[in-house]
Amino acid sequence: MNFDFSDEQQQLRQAVEQFLAKEYPFERLRALKSSNAGWDPQVWRGLAELGVTAINVPSSLGGLGYGPMETLVLMGACGPSLLLEPVLTSAVIATVLLREFEVSAPAAELLRAMAGGERIASVAHFEPGARFDGRQVDTRARRAGEGYRLDGRKSVVVHAGLADTLLVSARTRGDAHDPEGVSLFLVPRALPGVKLIEYANLDGQRAADLYLEEASVPEASRLGAEGGALPAIEAAFDQGLAALCAEAVGIMQSLINATVEYLRTRQQFGQPIGRFQVLQHRVADMVMHLEQARSMSYLAALRCTAADLGERRRALSAAKVVIGDAARFVGQQAVQLHGGMGMTDELKVSHCFKRLTAIEILFGDSDAHLERYAALVRGRQELPA
């Protein structure tokens, strides 16, 4: 048993933390949130120079060829800065997904460019009303001439507007819930027939609903075999979920640090309010949530690539339940213990709270994963010995 990080992993964390401390102070985040673009391409280039965008790219394609553990370290280090840039979206989820298709020339070409931070991709998979159930795909890809015609709709595609390429799942056969028949397409964002309704999510990250109306793509834009893309998409979002858990832990740690500091300095009734036992116990509860969440973030990183699909999904759902609940409790209580100040835009506390709230919802909330976990465990018990 060993819970230590390697020297290399620790160096990665330090490099990212130092870069963000310098380039991404809170005031920069606030300014970017209210800017038109909603992100900073220069910070993105800086992250690329550090190797952040290359972490999940195979070394054969100019990447670092790292895996979920390095991704955990990266996300934990990025967490407290509340980055608006597409680290999770592009450097983790889209990259991992493309890696599944690295033998295809367009995917390999895109991965090379993404490793250097020159291109950005976002996976447009989840659909309206599906509540992040990735097995519900009703967007259609119909054969048309030399290629396909895409019709359908994708919901809350994070960073869709700043990605140059969208990785769009669409059904080439079957009905909306059929696990077979889902194909994956590389779709330029600016393609005719692709319309984005853009908005900002509560954490300030830009997102969009994607409308596909007779969007024509060539045969070569399809990645992998027709109808067989769902396992790869699920693998990518499973690794994304593990990364999200690590990000949450990084944010919660910094939020608890900030709250403790506030309780030590804020004076009421002639003493620091941290002397009141009710507040001390509240902090103790926050710390316990954090440590349970940290444990589950390790489990998620260790299991998110497991070959046994049941084991992988049980671990990830268990992690999301613990981390979703922790994110809610720690976020809400950090605001509560800061009093009115916790409600203001001026303090980072509210921004951390909002990102944690988004994390709780993303890829299914605690209720959804509790239900999934129960179903998976039930399924295992029902298997013949």
Partner 1 sequence: MDLEFTAEERAFRDEVRGFLKERLPCEIRDKVLAGREVGRDDYLEWQRRLYQRGWGGVSWPVQFGGTGWSAVQQFIFEEESALAGAPRLIPFGLKMVAPVLMAFGSPEQQQRFLPQIRSAEAWWCQGYSEPGAGSDLASLRTRAVREGDHYVVNGQKTWNTLGQFADWMFCLVRTDLQAKQQSGISFLLIDMKSPGVRVRPIALLDGSHEVNDVFFEDVRVPAENLVGEENRGWTYAKFLLGHERSNIAGIGASKRELARLKRVAAEERKDGRPLSDDPLFAARLARVEIDLLALEITNLRVLSAEGAARAPGPEASILKIKGTEIQQTLSELFVRAAGEYALPLRREAMEAGWQPEAGLEGAGPAYATTVMAAYLNQRKLTIFGGTNEIQKNIVAKMAGL
Q: Which residues bind partner 1 (CB under 8 A)?
A: 126, 128-133, 155-156, 195, 197, 199-202, 207-209, 211, 267-270, 273, 276, 278-279, 332, 335-336, 339-340, 342-346, 350-351, 353-354, 357-358, 361-362, 365, 367, 370-371
Phi and psi (nearest 5°) for 188?
Answer: -60, 135
Indicate the residue among 216 and 332 with the shorter CB distance to partner 1. Answer: 332
Indicate the residue among 278 and 385 with the shorter CB distance to partner 1. Answer: 278
Say whether 177 sits in a helix, a strand or coil: coil
Give bridge partners of residue 44 from the DSSP assignment: none
Indicate the residue among 213 and 311 with the shorter CB distance to partner 1. Answer: 213
Q: Which of 250, 276, 232 is nearest to 102 (CA)?
A: 232
Indicate the residue among 42 and 277 with the shorter CB distance to partner 1. Answer: 277
Q: How far is the CB of 337 from partner 1 (least distance, A)?
A: 9
Indicate the residue among 98 and 251 with the shorter CB distance to partner 1. Answer: 251
CB 84 within 8 A of CB 39: yes
Q: How far is the CB of 311 from partner 1 (least distance, A)?
A: 24
- CB count within 10 Å of CB 300 equals 28
Indicate the residue among 78 and 335 with the shorter CB distance to partner 1. Answer: 335
Q: How far is the CB of 73 from partner 1 (least distance, A)?
A: 26
CB 347 within 8 A of CB 341: yes
Q: How far is the CB of 370 from partner 1 (least distance, A)?
A: 7
CB 199 within 8 A of CB 208: yes
Q: Which of 73, 69, 68, 84 is nearest to 50 (CA)?
A: 73
Q: How far is the CB of 136 from partner 1 (least distance, A)?
A: 9
* Rounded Cα distance, 12 and 96, in Å: 19
Indicate the residue among 308 and 367 with the shorter CB distance to partner 1. Answer: 367
Amino acid (1-letter code) at residue 253: Q
Say whether 246 sits in a helix, a strand or coil: helix
Q: How far is the CB of 159 from partner 1 (least distance, A)?
A: 13
Characterize the bridge pairing of strands 222-223 and 267-268.
Answer: unpaired
Place of tokens 């995917």: 107
* Rounded Cα distance, 121 and 169, in Å: 13
* Rounded Cα distance, 137 and 157, in Å: 14
Indicate the residue among 261 and 346 with the shorter CB distance to partner 1. Answer: 346
Q: How far is the CB of 116 from partner 1 (least distance, A)?
A: 30
Q: Which of 166, 154, 207, 223 is nearest to 190 (CA)?
A: 166
Q: How far is the CB of 339 from partner 1 (least distance, A)?
A: 5
Amino acid (1-letter code) at residue 166: L
Q: How far is the CB of 285 from partner 1 (least distance, A)?
A: 14
Handedness of CA 264, 287, 73, 362 (dihedral sign): negative
Give bridge partners of residue 216 from the DSSP assignment: 149
Indicate the residue among 26 and 211 with the shorter CB distance to partner 1. Answer: 211
Phi and psi (nearest 5°) for 209?
Answer: -90, 135
Q: Which of 83, 138, 90, 89 is nearest to 113 (CA)?
A: 90
